[in-house]
Structure 1
């Protein structure tokens, strides 16, 4: 690949796609293509085919998805299952038909079984049942991983799947109805701070363990995958380090400067007890995450403060 290779980043307006688009641009890639969901509905097979025929991308990065936290996954199971399959199937199949040189599919660590041995290795995929609170999204993403694997097996094409752990960073979704745990906490602590340090109620017991990856680190991993040949189909992308949700809450609380009480609502679900990624395969390839969680949270909060007047909300 060279800096004139035409690269299509699907979902380039989102947090992940935007970070990838920026990382590629910063690396000197000049021929980048992106379309907003208004310009190109990735659920529309014919529209996707016409777009590929016109643009003829050499590399495709699939960062487009219907995403959300526990609440959104629980409330909209069919939406999360069907729309994600439509988006990825159209992109994967059309990329194959149009002879795209390299396809990078992005998923999530939620593809792995709820009670899989820790840390989560790529080989544990499909070995037992999923976490019920996000199984719809997970099943869609698993089908994308297997589609890319099948293409490698049947056609010998350079299709690779990268599975990031929990992501956060600038341009995250801070809508309390659809956001993930870290940005939801950040907004809650910020608003409670403004409200005379009012108590903050958080879901669950605070005991589950989670790993967090800054979106800029993921973007660098994707650029690394663009520039290097991967011999296998599936690679975890994470830090290899986790902490309790309680410790995360206290770290965000300290960063925000909230001095009130934290109340844990144990009537709400905890989700998977632990979800730490085995990142040894990516390390063997030559890539490791760089951004420390404390630094990443501080940067994310700075971004949040600059955009607090217009929270990025996602409508289902």
Structure 2
């Protein structure tokens, strides 16, 4: 991408989109386009097409999506499959119709089979059954991958797809009902410390293992792929290391400074037993994650605590 190119970041207020926008601004890209969901409903095909026709967009980072943790996926499965299918279909079609030079579609590692071998290699896609708790979301993301590949094959577009592992960072969702595990634990331990509670409940057994990538690392990887990757095949983005939920909870408890007990609730489903991605492909291309989990957690907690003080 040239610094003067018109770049649209879809989903710029979310965890991933805001990180991409910050990275682009730091790198000197100034012709950046973004709209909030209240200004542009990407689920509406007419609005989306009109927006693309109005602006001469060269590059698209498609980070807009309906996302959430196990609770949200279980409660709103129709919303997750419908909204994500509509968003990505409308943006991909509009990008093709208006001759966008290149598009990066951001998926998720939940596209891989529940019991796939570890670490998860890109070729494991569609080789087994999905994790039931987030199957609707995963199917929508798989459809987005296949749309990009199909448009490339039929229309000669340059649409690439990246699969980030579990994300955390600034602008994360700390709502206990809809958030992912890491921000939920930060909020739980923080509030337990503030309210001097004797224990914190953690959903599940604590045994599943997860990999966590800072959103600033992901943003750097996305810019790298946009500038250096042309293949239709998907690319994993991760750190190549994982940690159990039990270990994560203990680490966050220490960072927050909470001295109470951790109580696991095995009645809540664990989800996929392990989800570690193979990052050999993107490492070979020349990119590697830089932000360690300990430093990343401290920075996120510091930001959360400042936000909490502001709200008070």
Q: TM-score with structure 2 length normalisation? A: 0.98
Find the aligned partners of 2:101 and 2:69 in 1 and give their Cα distance. Answer: 33
Over residues 142-170 of structure 1, what are the superposed CA-to-partner deviations in whole Å (9 max), with x where a residue is unaligned? Answer: 00011011112222321100100000011
Find the aligned partners of 1:12 and 1:57 in 2 and give their Cα distance. Answer: 16
User: Partner residue of 1:314?
Assistant: none
- Counterparts of residues 229-248 of structure 1 (less than 5 Å): 229-248=229-248
Please state how far the C-alpha of 1:251 moved relative to its aligned partner: 0.5
List gaps (5 residues or longer) in structure 2: none
User: Partner residue of 2:260?
Assistant: 260
- Counterparts of residues 32-71 of structure 1 (less than 5 Å): 32-71=32-71
**What SS does the corresponding residue of 2:281 show, helix, strand or coil?**
helix
Find the aligned partners of 1:150 and 1:310 in 2 and give their Cα distance. Answer: 47
Please state how far the C-alpha of 1:310 moved relative to its aligned partner: 7.0
Over residues 104-124 of structure 1, what are the superposed CA-to-partner deviations in whole Å (9 max), with x where a residue is unaligned? Answer: 000111010000010000100
User: Partner residue of 2:108?
Assistant: 108
Over residues 198-240 of structure 1, what are the superposed CA-to-partner deviations in whole Å (9 max), with x where a residue is unaligned? Answer: 2001111111110000000000011112222333431000001
Find the aligned partners of 2:205 and 2:14 in 1 and give their Cα distance. Answer: 31
Find the aligned partners of 2:310 and 2:160 in 1 and give their Cα distance. Answer: 36
Structure 1 outlier segments of 4+, above 2 Å: 229-233
Match status 1:287 vs 2:287: yes
Please state how far the C-alpha of 1:79 moved relative to its aligned partner: 0.3
List gaps (5 residues or longer) in structure 1: 312-316
Q: TM-score with structure 1 length normalisation? A: 0.97
Q: CA RMSD in A?
A: 1.0
| Count of aligned pairs between the two proteins | 311
Contact between 1:161 and 1:235, CA under 8 Å: does it hold in 2? yes
Match status 1:30 vs 2:17: no
Over residues 59-100 of structure 1, what are the superposed CA-to-partner deviations in whole Å (9 max), with x where a residue is unaligned? Answer: 011000001000000000000000000000000011011111
Contact between 1:230 and 1:285, CA under 8 Å: does it hold in 2? no
User: Partner residue of 2:228?
Assistant: 228
Match status 1:151 vs 2:176: no
Contact between 1:118 and 1:276, CA under 8 Å: does it hold in 2? yes
**What SS does the corresponding residue of 2:167 show, helix, strand or coil?**
strand
Deviates more, 1:193-202 or 1:294-303: 193-202
Find the aligned partners of 1:62 and 1:308 in 2 and give their Cα distance. Answer: 30
